[in-house]
């Protein structure tokens, strides 16, 4: 198997990573990789041969591996293994899927569990969602902003990675292969690449890479204006007591909301993940190719709930949170369910 270790997992809980790796190496032929950029992750997965991918990291690490396999059209080839490492909020998806949080138990699940088919939510830009989408974004403790195919950490994550995410960085130059792959282990590998790009601009802060008078130049004034526009652009965050956003929401072609009335919240959750904290029934069912769509307006006492296979949201620039990563703003986005599009190894 190919064990992909998230660099953040090694920094957050290196002991759990070492234990999980040792259990796997003691029972199977294992190749270990610690990709520190999307390009490296893409290369590692593209050259894995017949090795089954196993992720050691949090939900974000799993999402990025699934995203890369989906882009390579290799997602249906092998079941993905997962050993969750991270804070409780960062492994909520793994917990909802029934993956043990203890490293030894999770590693044994990878070695002796069974494969479970899961639905996948794919948007019209090629992005994938494993769990849920919220519009507007809820601004979680650790968020990301996706654009141009790269992922950027935009919130000063608690692991202190800056612009670097769970599996890959938004920017960085690929190092030689021997610097990131070690068949005997990964403890001596550098935890991060020195080429990470600061995320101050994505976080909506103003940084002046020069003397203060450079802000008075046309280029400096333009840069400052663009930063301020991003900071106040409508639809980026949900504020308490806000009147909502004017969005057009369609589910399987049926109109659920239109721009003539504001919408406070739109939530889209894969039906296979009904066990995620916050759901009413707390069950986890088989892949059935559907999502639950929730639309809440400021005036309504109850939210409108429907099940659908395709959801389209359009309107003025809005941001959305997909699998705890903040994306956008965009003017339109369509999500479509791919039934049983990938498989995960879960406890037998």
Average pLDDT of the residues in 104-127? 95
pLDDT tens digits, one per residue of 134-170 = 998 654 444 333 333 332 333 333 333 333 333 433 3
Q: Is residue 345 part of a domain?
A: no
Q: Is residue 194 part of a domain?
A: no
Please check whether residue 158 is in contact with residue 143, taking contact to mean a CB–CB distance below 8 angstroms.
no
DSSP state letter for 68: H
Average pLDDT, the chain: 74
Between the CA of residue 267 and those of 33, 108, 203, 311, 335, what are the distances in Å? Answer: 35, 35, 24, 10, 12
Higher pLDDT, 325 or 56: 56
pLDDT at 335 over 70: yes
Tell me the C-alpha distance between 248 and 312, whole Å.
Answer: 8
Q: Is residue 136 part of a domain?
A: yes
Q: Which two tokens stand for residue 303?
A: 């939210």
Instruction: Assess whether 136 and 71 both reside in one domain.
Output: no
pLDDT at 62 over 50: yes
Tell me the C-alpha distance between 339 and 78, whole Å.
Answer: 16
Instruction: Assess whether 107 and 247 both reside in one domain.
Output: no
Instruction: Assess whether 136 and 38 both reside in one domain.
Output: no
Instruction: Assess whether 134 and 20 both reside in one domain.
Output: no
List the CATH number of the domain containing 268. Answer: 2.60.200.40
List the CATH number of the domain containing 71. Answer: 3.40.50.10330
pLDDT value at residue 138: 56
Please check whether residue 106 is in contact with residue 82, taking contact to mean a CB–CB distance below 8 angstroms.
yes
- Helices 14-25, 103-112: inter-axial angle, 10-degree rounding: 30
Instruction: Assess whether 99 and 239 both reside in one domain.
Output: no
Instruction: Assess whether 60 and 136 both reside in one domain.
Output: no
Q: Is residue 84 part of a domain?
A: yes
Burial-class residue 4 by CB neighbours within 10 Å (0-12, 13-18, 19+).
buried
Q: Is residue 248 part of a domain?
A: yes
Least trusted range by pLDDT, from 33-47, 76-90, 147-161, 177-191: 147-161
Domain count, the chain: 2
Tell me the C-alpha distance between 295 and 263, whole Å.
Answer: 7
> What distance lies between CA 120 and its chain's CA centroid?
13
Q: Is residue 215 part of a domain?
A: no
Q: How far apart are the first and last CA of the chain?
A: 19
Instruction: Assess whether 103 and 137 both reside in one domain.
Output: no
Instruction: Assess whether 281 and 134 both reside in one domain.
Output: yes
> What distance lies between CA 314 and its chain's CA centroid?
22
Instruction: Assess whether 107 and 135 both reside in one domain.
Output: no
pLDDT value at residue 288: 60
Average pLDDT of the residues in 120-136? 94
What pLDDT band is residue 226 in, cutting at 50, 70 and 90? Answer: very low
Instruction: Assess whether 135 and 74 both reside in one domain.
Output: no
Instruction: Assess whether 134 and 59 both reside in one domain.
Output: no
pLDDT tens digits, one per residue of 190-199 = 333 333 333 3
DSSP-derived secondary structure for 104-129: HHHHHHHHH-EEEEEEEEEETTS-EE
Q: Is 210 helix (H, G, I), strand (E, B) or coil?
A: coil
pLDDT value at residue 299: 79
pTM: 0.68
Least trusted range by pLDDT, from 237-241, 302-306, 341-345: 237-241
Q: Is residue 81 part of a domain?
A: yes
Question: What does DSSP say about strands 310-322 and 247-251: parallel, antiparallel, or unpaired?
Answer: antiparallel
The boundaries of the domain holding residue 134 are 129-141+226-339
Q: Is residue 51 part of a domain?
A: yes
pLDDT value at residue 193: 32
Instruction: Assess whether 25 and 137 both reside in one domain.
Output: no
């Amino acid at each position: 198997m190919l064990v992909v270790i998230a660099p953040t997992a090694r920094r957050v809980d290196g002991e759990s990573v070492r234990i999980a790796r040792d259990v796997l190496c003691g029972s199977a032929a294992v190749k270990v990789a610690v990709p520190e950029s999307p390009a490296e992750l893409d290369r590692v997965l593209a050259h894995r041969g017949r090795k089954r991918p196993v992720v050691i990291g949090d939900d974000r690490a799993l999402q990025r591996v699934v995203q890369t396999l989906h882009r390579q059209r290799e997602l249906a080839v092998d079941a993905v293994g997962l050993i969750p490492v991270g804070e409780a909020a960062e492994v909520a998806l793994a917990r909802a899927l029934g993956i043990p949080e203890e490293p030894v138990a999770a590693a044994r699940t990878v070695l002796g569990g069974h494969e479970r088919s899961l639905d996948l939510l794919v948007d019209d830009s090629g992005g994938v969602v494993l769990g849920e989408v919220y519009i507007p974004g809820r601004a979680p403790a650790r968020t990301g902003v996706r654009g141009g195919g790269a992922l950027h950490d935009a919130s000063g994550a608690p692991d202190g990675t800056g612009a670097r995410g769970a599996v890959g960085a938004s920017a960085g130059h690929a190092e030689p292969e021997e610097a990131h792959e070690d068949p005997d282990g990964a403890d001596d590998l550098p935890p991060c690449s020195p080429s990470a790009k600061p995320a101050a601009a994505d976080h909506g802060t103003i940084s002046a890479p020069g003397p203060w008078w450079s802000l008075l130049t046309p280029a400096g004034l333009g840069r400052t204006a663009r930063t301020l526009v991003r900071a106040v652009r409508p639809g980026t965050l949900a504020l308490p007591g806000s009147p909502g956003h004017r969005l057009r929401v369609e589910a399987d072609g049926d109109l659920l909301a239109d721009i003539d009335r504001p919408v406070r919240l739109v939530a889209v959750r894969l039906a296979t993940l009904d066990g995620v904290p916050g759901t009413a029934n707390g069950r986890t069912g088989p892949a059935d190719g559907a999502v639950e769509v929730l639309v809440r307006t400021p005036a309504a006492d109850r939210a409108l709930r429907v099940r659908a296979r395709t959801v389209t949201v359009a309107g003025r620039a809005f941001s959305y949170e997909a699998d705890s990563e903040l994306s956008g703003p965009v003017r339109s986005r369509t999500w479509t369910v791919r039934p049983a599009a990938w498989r995960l190894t879960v406890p037998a």
